[in-house]
């Protein structure tokens, strides 16, 4: 199908940040003396802050004040990101190809918009995107499709006429529910078994995913 635009998740898909977030979470749990929290962070991936807060508060179970833990965790993240934010493999090549084709691109992320714009700028790819839609701009976060409808609308089009790229299960579910042609490129979490029945495309990397849905041709890629 001809695509009118392309919609992208950010963390774990464009930016190689999820491992950093996990490392900083583990660092915070050590500092706060919480040895049983190691797997909690993986349940937060792809979720908006409000949904993640519910999970994290329950896991903390009153042992540590939530705002204090959250600030300690994010202080480590800010310090790490100030040193630079790496891109996932294939991202610069794909964005350049899409720009050369004249396809408008937008970001649809659970991160708040100003923070997302800052991170994209630090990573050097903000100019490739016409718009950035953050999680606070919609009523329902991922896995609801709201953010993909909003991101497509910000480009003046419908999600069903766009390709969408995600890494997490909640994000891929959101993109697929919006009607966008969805590619999931898993990062640190393997797709759940039920995700493989969804009907979207699961790819080992972003460039191969783009080829699999006909967004780019093999001949366009030069290494």
Peptide bond into 51 cis (omega under 30): no
Domain boundaries, the chain: 5-16+86-220, 18-81
C-alpha 199/C-alpha 193 separation (Å) is 12
Taking the complete model, does pTM exceed 0.75, yes or no? yes
Question: Are the beta carbons of 184 and 164 closer than 8 angstroms?
Answer: no
**Per-residue pLDDT, 166:** 98
Band of the pLDDT at 38, cuts 50, 70, 90?
A: confident
**Per-residue pLDDT, 4:** 98
Of 22-36, 38-52, 102-116, the least confident? 38-52
Closest by CA to 45, choosing from 134, 111, 107, is 111
Element (H, E) at 8: strand 5-8
CATH 3.40.50.1000 at 5-16+86-220, yes or no = yes
> CA angle, corner 93, sides to 45 and 195, nearest 5?
35
What's the pLDDT tens digit per position in 61-108?
A: 999 999 999 999 999 999 998 889 999 999 999 999 999 999 999 999
> In the 8-state DSSP scheme, what is residue 113?
H
**93's torsion region: left (phi>0), alpha (psi -120 to 50) or beta?**
alpha
């Amino acid at each position: 199908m001809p695509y009118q635009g392309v919609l992208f998740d950010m963390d774990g898909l464009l930016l190689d940040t999820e491992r950093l977030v996990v490392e900083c979470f583990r660092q915070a749990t050590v500092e706060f003396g919480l040895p049983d929290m190691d797997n909690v962070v993986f349940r937060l991936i792809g979720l908006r802050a409000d949904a993640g807060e519910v999970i994290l508060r329950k896991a903390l179970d009153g042992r540590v004040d939530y705002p204090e833990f959250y600030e300690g965790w994010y202080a480590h993240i800010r310090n790490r990101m100030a040193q630079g934010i790496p891109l996932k493999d294939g991202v610069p090549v794909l964005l350049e190809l899409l720009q050369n084709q004249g396809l408008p691109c937008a970001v649809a992320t659970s991160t708040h918009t100003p923070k997302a714009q800052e991170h994209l700028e630090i990573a050097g790819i903000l100019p490739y995107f016409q718009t950035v839609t953050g999680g606070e701009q919609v009523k329902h976060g991922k896995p609801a499709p709201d953010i993909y409808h909003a991101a497509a609308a910000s480009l003046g089009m419908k999600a069903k006429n766009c390709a969408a790229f995600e890494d997490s299960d909640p994000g891929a579910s959101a993109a697929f529910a919006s009607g966008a042609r969805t590619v999931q490129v898993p990062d640190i979490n393997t797709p759940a078994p039920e995700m493989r029945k969804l009907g979207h495309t699961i790819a080992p990397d972003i460039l191969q995913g783009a080829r699999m849905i006909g967004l780019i041709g093999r001949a366009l890629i030069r290494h």
